[in-house]
């Protein structure tokens, strides 16, 4: 792939699994540390790998419009699926619909330097946003550490 959705989803699943949460999930591929691409799980956590491709022949809205996330991780936004979308602005509108499904008590996590996502959020959102970056991009970054301070 090129956009990191499966990798991000698998990493989140692994973190939740290691923390003992037994998450349910639906992934576009089979994650390396899991035997299947979907399972119900045994906790309140359910992780979905989602994208903006249309839902069905009779429903041209993006698939991710049908989910109701409490936490949303946006990896990036760029022009894709030329068979469905005329331009990047059409994709930005779909992402705005998605962003509006996240409640005010939820969380949006997104890269700090993505102009398309900036435009999406400028359309309106009532959800707190956590920007991420690498240290070379902006003067702040998210520092994730595993057990033992490593």
Interatomic CA distance for residues 79 and 134, integer angstroms: 23
Q: Across residues 27-48, what is the average pLDDT?
A: 93
Residue 75: Cβ within 10 Å count = 17
Give the tens place of pLDDT for each residue, 47-79. Answer: 999 888 778 888 888 888 889 999 999 998 887
| CB neighbour class for 42 (10 Å; exposed up to 12, middle 13-18, buried from 19) | exposed
**Is 5 part of the annotated catalytic residue set?**
yes
Q: Across residues 126-136, what is the average pLDDT?
A: 84
Interatomic CA distance for residues 64 and 69, integer angstroms: 9
Mean pLDDT of the chain: 86
Give the tens place of pLDDT for each residue, 6-17. Answer: 899 999 999 999
8 Å CB contact between 22 and 41: yes
8 Å CB contact between 93 and 65: no
In the set 6, 7, 71, 101, the catalytic residue is: 6
| Whole-number pLDDT of residue 142 | 52
In the set 9, 49, 92, 132, the catalytic residue is: 49
**Is 122 part of the annotated catalytic residue set?**
no
Structure tokens at 94: 């779909």
| Whole-number pLDDT of residue 104 | 96
Interatomic CA distance for residues 81 and 59, integer angstroms: 16
**Is 6 part of the annotated catalytic residue set?**
yes
Distances (CA, A) of 16 to 45, 82, 104: 8, 35, 23
Which of 5-9, 31-35, 118-122 holds the top average pLDDT? 118-122
In the set 5, 9, 52, 92, the catalytic residue is: 5
Residue spans per domain, the chain? 72-137
Q: Is residue 1 over pLDDT 70?
A: no
């Amino acid at each position: 792939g090129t956009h990191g959705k499966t990798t991000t989803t698998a990493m989140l699943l692994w973190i939740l699994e290691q923390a003992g949460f037994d998450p349910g999930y639906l992934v576009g591929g089979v994650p390396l540390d899991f035997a299947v691409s979907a399972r119900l799980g045994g906790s309140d956590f359910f992780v979905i790998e989602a994208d903006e491709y249309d839902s069905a022949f009779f429903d041209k809205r993006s698939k991710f419009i049908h989910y109701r996330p409490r936490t949303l991780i946006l990896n990036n936004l760029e022009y894709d699926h030329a068979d469905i979308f005329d331009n990047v602005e059409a994709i930005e509108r779909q992402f705005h619909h998605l962003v509006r499904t996240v409640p005010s008590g939820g969380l949006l996590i997104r890269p700090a330097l993505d102009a398309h996502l900036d435009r999406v959020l400028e359309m309106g959102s009532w959800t707190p946003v956590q920007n991420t970056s690498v240290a070379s991009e902006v003067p702040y970054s998210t520092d994730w550490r595993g057990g033992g301070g490593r």
